[in-house]
Structure 1
Amino acid sequence: MHARGFGAARVSVPVIGQGTWRIDGADRAEAVRALRAGVDAGMTHIDTAEMYGEAEAMVAEAISDCREEIFLVSKVVPSNATRRGVVRACEASLRRLRTDRIDCYLLHWPGSHPLAETVAGFEDLRRDGKILSWGVSNFDVDDLERLLAIAGPDRIACNQVYYCPTERAIEHAVLPWCTAHGVALVGYSPFGSGDFPEPASPGGRVLQSIADAHGTSPYAIVLAFLLRLPNTFTIPKTVRAERAVENAAAAEIRLDPAEIALIESHFPRGPRPRVLPML
């Protein structure tokens, strides 16, 4: 599995990881098998969150005998993001995950508690070895600038944002900001939110033609497209073991400039939105 340096510490992390939002709505045994198949295929970067219901417990089951191989990410909801609340939430996640540390712990989206409180909680956890790094999710550039002013350089490991071919807004300003400041950009929901291009649509036909040339699927081509820039990671979710293996294999696909230009022409970036898109 192809890996990149993650955040200022440049920890080596697989470029394709595994998302877990809503996996608890699937058959538990099947979802756990899919997670494990992904790990066995090299997707040892696993993302979860306290608000994902049973997902943390399902992740714990999937990695019970291979925790040392895993780059584990979880998230605190903003309502818990006071200095003490962050610590309590993290400790609860650690119990559900059945581990002694989280590799990267995120604030799930900007909230009402002062960022200085959240950062202080993150640093308490880092000092105590309960987390190894911390970052954020769904932060626009203004949010990132405020956070940087509080935390200082080389503290924000990543920003996790909505990024798929039909939603490329982060390429306007968020991705360049993250790249300039050594912050990893992790794209969630790479296949969109129920709007993956239909096979008969112009975009769907383009993805299929490129997939045929590479002997793979349109889903794998989408993952390769999102990874074409040097500071990006992606975390597709699946509850099917065969799809997990296919997702992992996408890390080795190299699209040529003509293929990238063709995809970009059918899925244009569009104007910069006033509000950062999120799910």
Structure 2
Amino acid sequence: MIPRIPHDEVTLPDGGSMPRLGMGTWYLGEGRRPPEDEIAALRTGLDAGVRLIDTAEMYADGGAERLIGRAIAGYDRASLFLVSKVYPHNAGRARLRRSLEASLRRMGVDYLDMYLLHWRGSIPLAETVECMEAAVDAGLIRQWGVSNLDMTDMRELMRVANGSHCCVDQVLYHLGSRGIEVDLLPWLRKRRILVMAYCPLAQAGRLRDGLLDSAVVREVAAAHGFTPMQVLLAFVLHRPDVVAIPRSGNPRHVLENVAVLSDPLTDDEYAALDRAFPAPDHPVPLDME
């Protein structure tokens, strides 16, 4: 029997809710493995109760969105929380609506629960926000947010009309990359804007030397019967207002991610990891991958 994910959600600024654990799809749909295997991984997560799936028009040039469309066929759309992202050069009056509708067609759905600006480009934020708000009014998206925006960008966003309607900032965040804890995370929390952590597993530890081999990580893993990568996910999920979207095309790894919510870290374990891989003591540029 596939284990079911515990009911664990965060509250959005508008009062709605969003699952705290989702499935990312970066690198899926690129032909690295048979699409049937990747679809099986997504469906394994869905069957285990993971309702959030994150993607982008950039991923596999729309291939990830098409893969999701195949994976979710037959599931209750209303129970899902689908997120996609628009290229910066498409995030204006000339192209945002067309990009959004293309994403919807690829996934075979009528609306997205969340639509994000993938990263900051040359189109003014005020124009992007205007288009996002129009998409909400048209019923094509429920909420909108941003991705890879740092403190300077977020402050600018808050100054434009309806910029405060932003619900999330999706950023790179993992045990080995904690710069957002210095300034961005507290700033967002104060405004009730959620953090979505992409690459919470540090791309299987590749983004920071020594993570998976750390004695502390392995000690915590042994205490829970976890793999080191499960410890990395548990570290991110220890913060109750952070959403994590680990990517996996392997059904077993998806279930390992699900298991983390049922066995959270203790405060002492979190403190030990914090000491082993401390956050910086000063603001640093936003880490991106």
TM-score normalised to the size of structure 1?
A: 0.94
* Percent identity between the two aligned chains: 38
- CA 1:82–1:136 in structure 2 vs 1: closer, same or farther (change >3 Å)? same
Q: Please give the alpha-carbon distance, in whole angstroms, between the structure 2 residues aligned to 1:242 and 1:257.
A: 27
Asked whether the equivalents of residues 225 and 260 of structure 1 are also in contact (C-alpha less than 8 Å), the reply is yes
Residues paired across the two proteins, number = 277
* Partner deviation per Cα, 1:159-205 (whole Å, 9 max, x = no partner): 0000011101111111111111111100000111424665883x2x2
- CA 1:200–1:183 in structure 2 vs 1: closer, same or farther (change >3 Å)? closer
Q: Please give the alpha-carbon distance, in whole angstroms, between the structure 2 residues aligned to 1:173 and 1:218.
A: 28
Counterpart of 2:12 in structure 1 is 7
Asked whether the equivalents of residues 157 and 163 of structure 2 are also in contact (C-alpha less than 8 Å), the reply is no
- CA 1:276–1:15 in structure 2 vs 1: closer, same or farther (change >3 Å)? same
Counterpart of 1:20 in structure 2 is 25
Query: Which of residues 53, 60, 63 is equivalent to 1:46?
Result: 53
Asked whether the equivalents of residues 179 and 286 of structure 2 are also in contact (C-alpha less than 8 Å), the reply is yes
The AA in structure 2 aligned to 1:147 is L
Residues 137-156 of structure 1: pairs in structure 2 closer than 5 A: 137-152=147-162, 154-156=164-166
- Can you give the 5+ residue segments of structure 1 that lack an aligned partner in the other structure? none
Counterpart of 1:83 in structure 2 is 93
Asked whether the equivalents of residues 102 and 132 of structure 1 are also in contact (C-alpha less than 8 Å), the reply is yes
Q: CA offset at residue 220 of structure 1?
A: 1.6
- CA 1:122–1:46 in structure 2 vs 1: closer, same or farther (change >3 Å)? same
Residues 198-277 of structure 1: pairs in structure 2 closer than 5 A: 201=213, 203=214, 205-277=215-287
- CA 1:222–1:62 in structure 2 vs 1: closer, same or farther (change >3 Å)? same
- CA 1:218–1:83 in structure 2 vs 1: closer, same or farther (change >3 Å)? same
Runs of 4+ in 1 over 3 A off after TM superposition: 151-154, 195-201, 271-274
Residues 122-161 of structure 1: pairs in structure 2 closer than 5 A: 122-152=132-162, 154-161=164-171
Q: Please give the alpha-carbon distance, in whole angstroms, between the structure 2 residues aligned to 1:80 and 1:62.
A: 26
Query: Which of residues 47, 55, 70 is equivalent to 1:61?
Result: 70
Stretch of structure 1 that moved more, 251-260 or 129-138: 251-260
* Partner deviation per Cα, 1:24-49 (whole Å, 9 max, x = no partner): 23320000100110111121110000
Q: Please give the alpha-carbon distance, in whole angstroms, between the structure 1 residues aligned to 2:162 and 2:198.
A: 26
Counterpart secondary structure, 1:275: coil
Stretch of structure 1 that moved more, 150-159 or 176-185: 150-159
Asked whether the equivalents of residues 212 and 229 of structure 2 are also in contact (C-alpha less than 8 Å), the reply is no
TM-score normalised to the size of structure 2?
A: 0.91
Q: Please give the alpha-carbon distance, in whole angstroms, between the structure 2 residues aligned to 1:200 and 1:35.
A: 25
Asked whether the equivalents of residues 74 and 104 of structure 1 are also in contact (C-alpha less than 8 Å), the reply is yes
The AA in structure 2 aligned to 1:163 is Y
Q: Please give the alpha-carbon distance, in whole angstroms, between the structure 2 residues aligned to 1:12 and 1:3.
A: 10
- Can you give the 5+ residue segments of structure 2 that lack an aligned partner in the other structure? 1-5
Counterpart secondary structure, 1:211: helix
Counterpart secondary structure, 1:230: coil
Q: Please, what is the CA RMSD of the aligned residues?
A: 1.7
Q: Please give the alpha-carbon distance, in whole angstroms, between the structure 2 residues aligned to 1:42 and 1:272.
A: 39
* Partner deviation per Cα, 1:77-105 (whole Å, 9 max, x = no partner): 10111123111110110111110000000
Asked whether the equivalents of residues 24 and 54 of structure 2 are also in contact (C-alpha less than 8 Å), the reply is yes
- CA 1:199–1:135 in structure 2 vs 1: closer, same or farther (change >3 Å)? closer
